[in-house]
């Protein structure tokens, strides 16, 4: 029997669900030791006057089983927004049932509504299952771009320099 998959935008009351998914995502990526997010901080960053990211939730038969968190950046060449997929996660017991695909379809619809020129995201090299899925849906791997990150001491040192 095919189960009904439903996608909905997260609301403030969904913070515990989102937080639970983030904890599972951290465990899956072996990053639990780096997780400092709390429900209180998520509520402030997702549902206050300045929103930093948005979330959609995937349900099967009224049970939340996955989520996608996204934000926006901007393309200078197109002068249009870019929907940036921060994270997508489906609970292990519910994978291979079309939930991730439905989440991405919903994100594509949001991107079109917001007149985005594209959706972008990154994938960790070790996550071959995700990479195969992204290739299957037709996503383009950008081999000529590198992702850079500045955090902790490096970020502090640069921010403290005189401009």
Catalytic residues: 134
Answer yes or no: are the C-beta atoms of 52 and 42 closer than 8 Å.
no
Spatial strand order of the sheet with 5-9 comes to 5-9, 54-60, 63-75, 80-90, 118-120
d(CA 157, CA 8): 41
- Environment class of residue 27 by beta-carbon count within 10 Å: exposed (0-12), middle (13-18) or buried (19+)? exposed
Answer yes or no: are the C-beta atoms of 89 and 66 closer than 8 Å.
yes
């Amino acid at each position: 029997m095919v189960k009904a998959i439903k996608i909905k935008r997260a609301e403030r009351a969904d913070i515990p669900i989102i937080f639970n998914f983030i904890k599972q995502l951290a465990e899956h990526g072996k990053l639990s030791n780096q997780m400092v997010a709390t429900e209180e901080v998520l509520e402030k960053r997702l549902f206050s006057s300045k929103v930093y990211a948005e979330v959609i939730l995937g349900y099967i038969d009224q049970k939340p089983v996955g989520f996608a968190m996204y934000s926006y950046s901007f393309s200078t060449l197109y002068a249009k927004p870019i929907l940036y997929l921060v994270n997508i996660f489906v609970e292990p017991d519910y994978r291979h049932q079309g939930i991730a695909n439905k989440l991405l379809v919903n994100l594509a619809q949001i991107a079109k509504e917001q007149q985005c020129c594209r959706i972008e995201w990154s994938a960790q090299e070790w996550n071959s299952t995700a990479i195969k899925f992204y290739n299957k849906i037709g996503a383009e791997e950008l081999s000529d771009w590198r992702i850079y990150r500045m955090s902790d001491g490096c970020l502090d040192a640069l921010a403290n320099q005189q401009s």
